[in-house]
Amino acid sequence: MSATDKTAEKLTILTERYGRRQAKRHVRTPSRGWVTESYPTNPFHFSVETVPVRSLDDLHKALRGVAASPEKIVIRGEMNDNARAALAEKGFTRRNKDSFDATPRRWICIDVDNVILPGYDITREPEAAVVQLVSTHFPPEFQNTRIIWQLSSSAGLKDPELIKCHLWCWLSRPLGFQELKAWRVLKNFPADEALFRDVQIHYVADPAFHGAPDPCARRWGILDGEHDEIKVPHIDVEQANGIARGRGESFSGMVTGQDVADILTKMGDGDGGKGFHAVIISAQMRWARTTHPARYAKERETLKAQIREAARNAYRAPGRSIADVEAYLTDSALDKGIDGAIKRAAVRMEQAREFPIMVSLEQAQQSCASFFEDFGRFV
């Protein structure tokens, strides 16, 4: 990046080390349905490039370039010295919080999933459906503003009135995870908060279709509007935190409950449901923190069985298939989450042992704030 680009916003683009495709592949079945045969490989090793962007149009141009290379993805974080050292030594780095720093951005990708718009057909007129989505489900600051829209990989495969899309927006000021989460909570617009996180993968490449053409007429576009950026309103993080607690959530996105069983009762979509991924991660974290390490191996399979039973019996919104749920429930997926929870619990136990017995109130408050901020980044 040249000296003249130092004030530009940045888009962090990662290229999968082995060139593996980071997009879904859909195959037409004899019954004229679709089966998703392959999902992104969720890799960890990437080369890195940083592209300067100064406007929504710059962002659109950069994203279309990424979409043309299916081995590329986008993240919000900015590479640090650890990443640069790994790139210099190996030619690739890991996609984790040790290699990429949390960085507020003026761009945001809002992942909208499973919103039903009766009378709108996303396969025939996707832009009309997106216009209706924004006008009916988003607050005033989003209205009459140019927004990049991209249909999700599974959009149009089933119910054409089921909206699945990404909205890429340019903001009047940079926002990080805490403010993005608070904004969504305060204004209650549909968004998967996972994409607000620093190293969360943003899949940009279009899916591949075999046996029949893409059922959607278009997958990209830009909504018309008088404004090129969303004027970010005042965001009261503390107020949003209180609202989240009232819903039985921590502000980090974790689902609260008296114990693992109580957390798992909140599995599912619809009223009172907290989804699937967040509930599973929260149950794993609670289990790791309340189970004696000597019993981890013995009780691991019991926990996995509890999670599977709760997930398979939970309500699924239209458009979320049982196959989507089963992807969370494989041995590899559950073991990965449990291992991560155990490691995090061990770190906190070690830090607790080293914590001084007598500290000032200010030190205690700072330590607690640091803990919750770090915990939110982890999950």
pLDDT in tens, 301-326: 999 999 999 999 999 987 778 888 99
* Max Cα-Cα span within the chain: 70
Please state, in angstroms and rounded to a whole number, the distance separating the CA atoms of residues 238 and 246: 13
Please state, in angstroms and rounded to a whole number, the distance separating the CA atoms of residues 160 and 187: 27
* Residue among 271, 285, 281 nearest 314 (CA): 271
Sign of the Cα torsion 325, 329, 330, 332 reads: positive
Residue 318 identity: P
pLDDT score at 323: 87
pLDDT score at 163: 93
214-243: average pLDDT: 94
Query: 162-203 pLDDT, tens per residue?
Result: 999 999 999 999 999 999 999 999 999 999 888 999 999 999
Query: 344-372 pLDDT, tens per residue?
Result: 888 666 544 444 444 454 554 454 445 44
Query: 78-108 pLDDT, tens per residue?
Result: 999 999 999 999 999 999 999 999 999 999 9
Strand partners, 111: 166
Task: Answer whether 14's CB lies under 8 Å from 73's CB.
Answer: yes
pLDDT score at 272: 73
* Residue among 74, 140, 144 nearest 103 (CA): 74
pLDDT score at 182: 94
Please state, in angstroms and rounded to a whole number, the distance separating the CA atoms of residues 255 and 264: 9
Query: 141-168 pLDDT, tens per residue?
Result: 999 999 999 999 989 998 999 999 999 9
This prediction has a pTM of 0.73
Please state, in angstroms and rounded to a whole number, the distance separating the CA atoms of residues 109 and 170: 9
